[in-house]
Chains A and B, each alone.
Chain A
Amino acid sequence: MPLRPVEFHILLALAADERHGYSILQEVAELTDGDLTLEPGTLYRALHRMLKDGWVVESGRRPAADVDDERRRYYRLTPLGRRVATAEADRLWRLLAVARRHRLLTRA
């Protein structure tokens, strides 16, 4: 079954780094060249589901106090979350291959 786009984007945003809520929103906007602007409520509903399903966890670590505000909560991927993201990327890649075969791709 396909992932919801919101969830896949969150997984992508967390792939490289652990991030706090607003930083996820910024990263998602950047990844999609500003096409997708998530609202905080939408983000946290998805995060809440993903926390319950064990794809992400709240990171216990905090960056040094002078780098960032200490009050923020950071999230990172679990191994399960990483596997879900990989599976979704694989699925998309296979679809992409089909599209390419049918010359549906405009870009190389």
Chain B
Amino acid sequence: MPDLNGDRRLAWWLVWMYPPRFRRDVGLGLVDTLDDRMRARREAGAPRLAVWIRAIADTLRNASAEWIDLLRERGPATFERRTGRTMIDTLQQDVRYAIRTWTRRPGFALVAILTLAIGLGANTAMFSIVNAVLLRPLPYAHADRLVTVWATIKGNPRTLVLYKDYRELAKQNSSFDALGLWLSQSVNLTGVSEPQRLVGAFMTGSMFDVLGLRAERGRLFSEEESAPGTVKPYVIITHDFWQQRFEGKDSAIGSVLTLNGTPQTIVGVLAPVDSRSAPGNGWFLSADVFIPAAHFPSPRGLDSVAMIGVARLKAGITPATARADLDVIAGRLQTVDPLTNAGRGVDIEMAHDSIVGQSRTALFLLLASVGAVLLIACVNVSNLLLARAVDRQREIALRAALGASRLAVTRQLAVEAGLLAFVGAILGLLLGRWVLQALASLRPPRGFPIPQVIGLDPTVLLFTAAIALFVAVVCSLAPALRTSRPDLRDVLQAGFRRGSSAGGRTREVLVVVEVALSVALVAIAGLLIQSLLAVQKAPLGFDASNVFTLEFRLPQAKYRQPESIAAFFRQAIERVRAVPGVQSAALVRALPFSGNWGSTSYLVEGGTPPAKGSEPLTRYHIVTPDSFRTLRIPLLRGRDFTDRDDLPSPHVAIVNDTFACAVFPNEDPIGKRISTPDTGPLTIVGVVGDTKQLSATEPAQPQLYVAHYQFPLIFTALVARTSGPPMSVSNDVRKAIWSVDQDQPMWAVRSLEDTVGATLGQPVFLATLLGVFAGVALLLAAVGVYGVMSYAVAQRTHEIGIRLALGASDGRVLREVVARAAKLTAAAIFIGLAIAVAAGRFAATVLFGVRPSDPITLAAAAAVLAVVSLAACYLPARRASRVDPVIALAEE
């Protein structure tokens, strides 16, 4: 069905191109018929793009004819014979003329069309992505009123909302139609042939209302059925999960899934949402099962669990009004509950921004870059047309003298440019499709919400048509301005000698424009490549090579006591260490670069306690002994955790270098005591090097490590250093853990190197694309400079011939031509660098380790363009210096 919608939408757009009267009379019928025809052709097996192109071609022909009829204010001659030249005739003549010129000089047409196709294709592809990511709404009802609700604390305006605060917010607010909380977490599915890890969304019943979701079978759970105390053992499954596991049978409703060790009854199947185009890969709908919030595994009850808040604003309530409302409630909570809420506020953000916000800069940068490539392409084609127009100047002047109107001349140029743009756009659409496929295979980075399916849709077609029109106008503008007002006398007096500097200035300006844009693109690409290199070189603090990882979560129902968890951990590690090929192994709560992390506030014993709500924060890691050796994190002072740091023994901690320097400057941190809300007092026994947890680009942070055996938590990850390729131990390691508990599912089974590499996605993606764009721009600019200088030389052949005959040395002629090009290039580079610096400021958020005005990058870009541009003018210059005076003068 969605395909049909695409056809019909296109049909609506197409019919809009007809005159209003026509639309009123027969518009609806035409929409139906276009739709029918497209469907019939598609059912006959024609590809969608071909079908659309035929429909568009039909519309372009007939709609323009209908408009022309209307403008002439007479119906088409049905019974009278048409006499005289109608507009259609002239247009047809112009088109025929253009095609005749192309067949005579196929090289020109080929270069022009390919140039435009590259520019239009790149723009079509990039706009498809922007359209899908930034312009399309989220696939939920009232998507424009959906907001993300955040708790704000000092130093972080985007933290999760505590369940206890959610209850108050839901009760007291007057801004939302509905407010809900959700958090996704892996859940263990057991009691089936092979234990399996599912992605669960723990959520309040109100979430269904917030997003306007329905059950396709059975029912949803209510707010009451998800709240602590009244919670029911229910679970709702997605359409996909229903199809996979239950083959879409109705008997799924009422069957029981054992999740995290607790049996839960399936009460409904969620109706699928059209998430094909949804940014963020369907957001939270990528879960398999939806579980009432109160089942969230939390040792201290749901009230202290923080989740993601989502709300739907009431119609007519602005975000500002809602913020004011929430501020009042947050203030009230601070006074009622100062222990937990001091310094906590509430803020909202449009849900669409939360999902696509980070990639906006990158996308606009890419769109601006392809825009620049298109402009450069236009300049080249404009130059080609201009050169031709100047060649025809005498003919045009003669025609003008004989009474041809300026309009006729301009129209001829415009028709030719339009035709070039049209053919270029068709090729560009095919190219764009191919580019999109290539981009999809580039594996767009995490945090870069590219929808799974990016197709060419009517909006994209319309965009391409619009920029093709723009191209036609831009390409014909310069030549039309130049040639439609030729100075008759000058041109005719010039006799049979070809016009000297006609059009020369315009062409030079165009060349400056394209070289300047190329400089800017090359500079930006240089900055992005520099930051990619900087990211790759940034010290991580650990050695990711030859490390095998996997994650698992013990079911809470089975492992209730800290002792039983710790016992499992010890046994599992022992068995994994015994696996051949494993050198050392340990457990860490949050794998580096996995996206997991923790933080906590802390107090230094003996120091002055800071005000409530402004305690210092530190990253918080929980690890078993040997984790530092396994990850090759250097131990700077003191000792690692040992097996004797267990439940009954005094609690110990290890801090990183940044922590030690910041908290205990000029003191030995070993033996100092600190405390955190979760652990109570801890004695520092060691100092280790700094490590990166989330990305290579994050600044150094204080880090605090506590011992896993003293604070056993059910979720953890295994890291194992291997002597050979890390994945070679995969099966044996999993068997080793299954030998301790055969019901335990495991996931994220991969090498640490891959995990780290995946976070480089965005810099690689940006640098690759910009690199390609800059390369294309460079090529086009070189062609442009070459074309203009060749032409200038060819036009001056006569003059150069005289000068050579009068004794000028060929070296001097060569120098003169090159000097002219050098002057233009210098001006262009200057302008280009200014553009690059401005664009670099805009792009600062995607840069790392390099300033937007990095002098080396800018100088390199300038040098590249200087070399390319001088190389491009060298050939024509040499040709000029080799002019044979006899031949040149005989040309008269």
Contacts and interface: CB of A to CB of B under 8 A. Distances in A.
B79 A44 contact: no
Contacts, number: 75
Interface in A59-76: 71-73, 75
Interface stretch (A10-18, A49-57, A90-98, A99-107): A49-57
B22 A42 contact: no
- Report whether over half of chain A's contact residues are helix, strand or loop; otherwise say mixed: helix
Given A22-B40, A39-B54, A39-B62, A44 B33 contact: yes
Interface stretch (B23-31, B444-452, B762-770): B23-31
A40 B76 contact: no
Interface in B616-665: none
A5 interface: no
B81 A42 contact: no
A45 to B, nearest CB: 5
B368 interface: no
Given A41-B58, A45-B65, A48-B25, A4 B78 contact: yes
Contact of A51 (B25, B32, B40, B78): B25
Contact of A40 (B28, B58, B75, B79): B58
A38 to B, nearest CB: 9
A88 to B, nearest CB: 12
Interface residues of B, number: 27
A7 B79 CA distance: 12
A49 B478 CA distance: 40
A51 B24 CA distance: 12
Contact of B33 (A43, A45, A49, A52): A43
Interface of B: 22, 25-26, 28-30, 32-34, 36-37, 40, 54-55, 58-59, 61-63, 65-66, 75-76, 78-81
B26 A51 contact: yes
Contact of A53 (B22, B65, B78): B78
B54 A41 contact: no
The range of chain A's interface size is 20 to 34
A72 B75 contact: no
A85 to B, nearest CB: 14
Most B CB atoms within 10 A — which of A22, A41, A58?
Answer: A41
A28 interface: no
A108 interface: no
B78 A21 contact: no
Contact of B37 (A4, A40, A73): A40
A25 interface: yes
A82 interface: no
B4 to A, nearest CB: 12
Given A22-B36, A48-B25, A41 B78 contact: no
A103 B78 CA distance: 32
A48 B22 contact: yes
Interface of A: 1, 4, 7, 20-22, 25, 39-45, 47-49, 51-53, 58, 71-73, 75
Contact of B76 (A42, A49, A58): A49
Given A41-B58, A45-B62, A51-B26, A21 B81 contact: no
A42 B62 contact: yes
5 contacts: A41-B58, A44-B22, A44-B62, A51-B26, A73-B28
* Complex A-B, nearest 5 residue pairs according to Cβ-Cβ distance, in ascending order: A41-B62, A21-B33, A22-B36, A39-B58, A73-B29
Contacts of A47: 26, 29
Contact of B59 (A41, A43, A75): A41
A24 B129 CA distance: 40
B26 A44 contact: yes
Given A21-B36, A41-B58, A42-B58, A1 B81 contact: yes
B61 A41 contact: yes
Contacts of B63: 41
A58 B32 CA distance: 15
Contacts of A49: 75-76, 78
Given A1-B79, A22-B40, A40 B34 contact: yes
A6 to B, nearest CB: 11
A44 B81 CA distance: 22
Given A45-B65, A45-B66, A48-B25, A21 B58 contact: no
Contacts of A75: 29
A72 B32 contact: yes
A51 B30 CA distance: 14
A52 B76 CA distance: 12
B864 to A, nearest CB: 49
Most A CB atoms within 10 A — which of B29, B36, B66?
Answer: B29
Most B CB atoms within 10 A — which of A7, A22, A72?
Answer: A22
A44 B80 contact: no
A72 to B, nearest CB: 6
Contacts of B81: 1
A41 B59 CA distance: 6
A73 B25 CA distance: 11
Contacts of A41: 30, 34, 58-59, 61-63
A40 B33 contact: yes
A51 B27 CA distance: 13
Contacts of B78: 4, 7, 49, 53
Contacts of A45: 22, 62, 65-66
Contacts of B66: 45, 48
Contacts of A52: 25, 75
Most B CB atoms within 10 A — which of A21, A49, A52?
Answer: A21
A1 B36 contact: no
Most B CB atoms within 10 A — which of A48, A52, A53?
Answer: A48
Nearest to A72: B32
Contacts of A72: 29, 32
Given A20-B33, A51-B26, 11 more contacts: A1-B79, A21-B29, A40-B30, A40-B33, A40-B34, A41-B59, A44-B62, A45-B65, A48-B66, A71-B32, A73-B32
A92 B54 CA distance: 33
A14 to B, nearest CB: 14
A66 B29 CA distance: 20
A53 B78 CA distance: 10
A72 B76 CA distance: 27
Nearest to B60: A41
A41 B62 CA distance: 6
B50 to A, nearest CB: 14
Most A CB atoms within 10 A — which of B22, B78, B81?
Answer: B78
A7 B58 CA distance: 17
Nearest to A43: B33
Nearest to A51: B25
Contact of A1 (B30, B61, B80): B80
A95 B371 CA distance: 60
A58 B62 CA distance: 21
Contacts of B30: 21, 40-41, 44
Most A CB atoms within 10 A — which of B28, B30, B81?
Answer: B30
Contacts of B22: 44-45, 48
Contacts of B54: 39
Given A22-B37, A39-B58, A44 B75 contact: no
A82 to B, nearest CB: 17
B175 to A, nearest CB: 41
A44 B61 contact: no
A25 B55 CA distance: 14
Most B CB atoms within 10 A — which of A7, A45, A53?
Answer: A45
Contact of A25 (B25, B33, B65, B76): B33
Most A CB atoms within 10 A — which of B55, B58, B63, B76?
Answer: B58
A81 to B, nearest CB: 13
Most B CB atoms within 10 A — which of A1, A7, A39, A51?
Answer: A39
Contacts of A21: 29-30, 32-33, 36
B78 to A, nearest CB: 6
Nearest to B38: A40
A20 B26 contact: no
Most B CB atoms within 10 A — which of A44, A49, A71?
Answer: A44
Given A42-B62, A45-B62, A45-B66, A22 B32 contact: yes
